[in-house]
A and B are shown apart, each in its own frame.
Chain A
Amino acid sequence: MIQNCEPIFRKFIDPQIRNTLLTDIVGFSGGALDSGDGEDLPPMALPVKSVSYLSESLKDCILKHLGYLPTSASTLSLLTVAGITYSVASKHSGNSCILLNLPSKTTSVPAQIEHIVQFASNNDISGVNTLVAVRRFKRLNNQSDPFSIYPLLQTQIWSRELGALELHPIGSIHCHFACSTMLWEGEQVMVMVSLSRVRPDFLSFQSS
């Protein structure tokens, strides 16, 4: 009977249907099947391509982040972590907009994923490091934020300009955000809405 009901349950979690319930299920099963850290990263195949095919800006970024340039690396267009798919901006711009938790800050900052890079770990030849190369959105200089009086909605205005390329570990990704643009005090600004499933009972964003 259970076997016969498989199509019903398969339809229940139809990946073509997008809703909160489904992402809850996928997120839960992703965490449950994982060995413990809740991340279902792609297969850990050692990168075999030479880093020479990477763009100069990415190579500079890796060099700055690691202090050395790995001999081989590979790039991914998407990555699934705990049931949520993150993509590079050229693949899916909506899936590339992320909020980053930075060790130097107590708040999340919006950024866009440009590359997802994998390379062999320097001290563990069997291990693979996966990092995201992102550009952070810049803060606005003088504008007042009309959303600041509604902190529970986790919405803020930011500049549409992006900063320099920088590398971060996968664990720095907090969540996705939705964004649109609007004219505010004479300037086109980016409106960022956090899609975190957790609403803090205090304001946890970098104030713009």
Chain B
Amino acid sequence: MDGIRGDIVNTLRPSWLTSVPPEFGSASYGKLKADQWRVLGTTFLPVSLVRLWSVVEVGNPRSERCRQILDVTMSLLSAVAIACSRVTSKKHAELYSSNMHSYLSGLKGLFPEYSFRPNHHMALHLRDYLLLYGPVHSWWTFPFERLIGILQRISTNYKIGRFSNFFYSSI
């Protein structure tokens, strides 16, 4: 984790890129948001994991195991990258599907005792949605979730139909 956090701090990036707190993963910081997970996975993790795990020390079981985990993780990150593309096509959908299947089968091979979650199953349907609805940013619900978050944080007087000046001053 220290290696990944160090890479986050040392990476040069444009100002518009979603910021990922270097303290992520600590109990004190809390959870990352979806966009932060996406940026962590497609921008920071590939660099850190390849740097840490891509070179296999022959005869070192831990190093060989790390390399296997790296390849499985990179399948997942590739699937995320292709799924979030602003342009999609049948080939994008097939690439997504093959990477997601590769990730899930690799995960099962590395951790046979692990039980898949419903999200793993749902992720396999994304191929069909890419073909049916187009690029995900045109139909994902993040804009609405963000607006709901803003509305939830607004103080109200709980009196329907009676506006309070406090309502506007609290925004």
A-B contact pairs, 28 of them (CB 8 A): A12-B147, A19-B35, A20-B18, A20-B38, A21-B142, A24-B137, A84-B16, A92-B14, A95-B14, A97-B14, A146-B55, A147-B46, A150-B74, A150-B78, A153-B77, A155-B50, A180-B7, A180-B10, A182-B47, A193-B42, A193-B46, A195-B43, A198-B86, A198-B87, A199-B82, A201-B82, A201-B89, A201-B91
Tell me whether chain B's interface is mostly helix, strand or loop, or mixed.
helix
Q: What number of B residues sit within 8 Å (CB to CB) of A?
A: 48
A179 within 8 A of B: yes
A8 within 8 A of B: yes
In the assembly, what is the distance between CA of A19 and CA of B35, in Å? 7
Contact indicator B143/A8 (Cβ below 8 Å): no
B105 within 8 A of A: no
Q: How far is the CB of A193 from chain B (nearest CB, A)?
A: 5
Interface residues of B (CB under 8 A from A): 7, 10-19, 33, 35, 38-39, 42-43, 46-47, 50-51, 54-55, 74, 77-78, 81-82, 84-87, 89, 91-92, 95, 99, 137, 142-143, 146-147, 150-151, 154, 163, 168, 171
Contact indicator B12/A199 (Cβ below 8 Å): no
Contact indicator B16/A146 (Cβ below 8 Å): no
In the assembly, what is the distance between CA of A155 and CA of B39, in Å? 14
Q: Mark A74-101, 1 if CB is under 8 A from B, else 0.
A: 0000000000110000001111010000
Known contacts A4-B168, A11-B171, A197-B85; can you find 18 more A-B pairs with CB under 8 A?
A8-B171, A18-B17, A19-B18, A20-B39, A21-B35, A85-B14, A147-B50, A150-B50, A150-B77, A152-B78, A152-B82, A176-B14, A178-B11, A180-B11, A181-B10, A198-B86, A199-B81, A199-B84
In the assembly, what is the distance between CA of A19 and CA of B38, in Å? 11
Residues of A within 8 A of B50 (CB): 146-147, 150, 155
Identity of the chain B residue whose Cβ is nearest the Cβ of A179 in the assembled complex: B12
In the assembly, what is the distance between CA of A191 and CA of B99, in Å? 23
Identity of the chain B residue whose Cβ is nearest the Cβ of A23 in the assembled complex: B16
Residues of A within 8 A of B82 (CB): 152, 199, 201
Contact indicator A94/B95 (Cβ below 8 Å): no
Residues of A within 8 A of B18 (CB): 18-20
Residues of A within 8 A of B89 (CB): 201
Contact indicator A154/B147 (Cβ below 8 Å): no
7 smallest CB-CB distances across A and B, nearest first, come from: A199-B85, A152-B78, A201-B91, A178-B13, A7-B171, A176-B14, A197-B86
Residues of A within 8 A of B35 (CB): 19-21
Residues of B within 8 A of A18 (CB): 15-19
In the assembly, what is the distance between CA of A95 and CA of B16, in Å? 9
Contact indicator B81/A201 (Cβ below 8 Å): no
Contact indicator B171/A179 (Cβ below 8 Å): no
Contact indicator A21/B146 (Cβ below 8 Å): yes
Residues of B within 8 A of A8 (CB): 147, 150-151, 154, 171
